[in-house]
């Protein structure tokens, strides 16, 4: 009788990556359910189902866990946004695709989790030091994408368009909060459709 070959043991790097992914997912879920103040190391430990020592081996502080949650979602958004822009055949299509991709994030649990993290940065210097640089890099990327689309359309990236981008960020965050309070996709989608039409008209003309 032939014995099954033993499964190869995972490398230390694979085990570390699996632990990090499990902790990040647990932190995201706790953030969504209990907010930033409820996302304690002990709450994350319980959600991850592992020891506090195992978590702290990968993430010595809560701030570093929060930074990892934010960084993972930023990387995901970057991939989605770049793909959306590239699928546009005109500057207007690229901008419309970018707006659609952005607002699809509103219903994702990561969006609510990251919003909790950014709100907490105001009163937590350690958190701000960990999360701030990555957040600023992501914001610069988004501004560069918007500038590239406007440049391709022959539109100046002036103060009015930068203010419009700021307003779009505010609408995105506001709708994220509304989705948490009242997760009715139909209502949120209608609000997004109205805002997108206004945005495109303001940028490219009716």
**What is the residue-level pLDDT of the chain in tens, covering all 206 positions?**
556 555 566 677 778 888 999 999 999 999 999 999 999 999 999 999 999 999 999 999 999 999 999 999 999 999 999 999 999 999 999 999 999 999 999 989 999 999 999 999 999 999 999 999 999 999 999 999 999 999 999 998 888 888 999 999 999 999 999 888 877 888 888 999 999 999 999 999 87
The reply to whether 31 falls in a domain is no
157-200 per-position pLDDT tens digit: 888 888 999 999 999 999 999 888 877 888 888 999 999 999 99
Q: How many domains does the chain have?
A: 1
Task: State the angle between helix axes of 109-120 and 62-87 in degrees (0 to 180), rounded to the nearest 10.
Answer: 130
Cα distance between the two ends of the chain = 76
pLDDT at 14: 79
**Global pTM?**
0.87
Interhelix angle 125-152/62-87, rounded to 10 degrees, is 10
Quick one: pLDDT at residue 3? 62
Asked whether residue 127 is assigned to any structural domain, the reply reads: yes
Inside any domain, residue 132: yes
Q: Is residue 169 part of a domain?
A: yes
- Residue 130 burial class via C-beta count within 10 angstroms: exposed 0-12, middle 13-18, buried 19 and up: buried
Q: Looking at the domain assignment, is residue 143 inside a domain? A: yes
Q: Is residue 111 part of a domain?
A: yes
Other CB atoms within 10 A of residue 100 CB: 13
Residue 195 falls inside a structural domain? yes
Residue 65 CA to residue 68 CA, distance in Å, equals 5
Query: Which CATH number does the domain housing residue 141 bear?
Result: 1.10.357.10
Expressed as residue numbers, the domain containing 109 is 62-204
Residues 66, 165: Cα–Cα separation, whole Å: 26
| 140-176-147 Cα angle (round to 5) | 25
Q: What per-residue confidence (pLDDT) applies to 139?
A: 93
Residue 5 lies inside a defined structural domain of this protein = no
**What average pLDDT does the structure give for the chain?**
91
């Amino acid at each position: 009788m032939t014995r099954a070959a033993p499964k190869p043991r995972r490398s230390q790097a694979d085990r570390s990556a699996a632990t990090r992914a499990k902790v990040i997912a647990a932190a995201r879920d706790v953030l969504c359910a209990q907010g930033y103040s409820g996302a304690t190391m002990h709450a994350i430990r319980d959600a991850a189902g592992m020891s506090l020592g195992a978590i702290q081996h990968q993430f010595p502080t809560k701030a570093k866990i929060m930074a990892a949650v934010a960084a993972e979602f930023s990387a995901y958004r970057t991939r989605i946004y770049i793909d959306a822009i590239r699928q546009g055949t005109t500057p207007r299509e690229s901008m419309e695709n970018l707006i659609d991709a952005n607002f699809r994030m509103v219903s994702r649990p990561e969006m609510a989790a990251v919003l909790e993290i950014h709100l907490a940065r105001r009163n937590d210097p350690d958190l701000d030091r960990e999360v701030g640089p990555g957040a600023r890099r992501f914001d610069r990327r988004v501004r560069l994408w918007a500038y590239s689309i406007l440049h391709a359309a022959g539109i100046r990236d002036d103060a009015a368009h930068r203010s419009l981008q700021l307003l779009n960020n505010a609408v995105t965050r506001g709708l994220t909060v509304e989705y948490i309070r009242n997760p009715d996709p139909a209502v949120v989608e209608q609000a997004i459709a109205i805002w997108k039409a206004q945005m495109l008209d303001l940028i490219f003309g009716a």
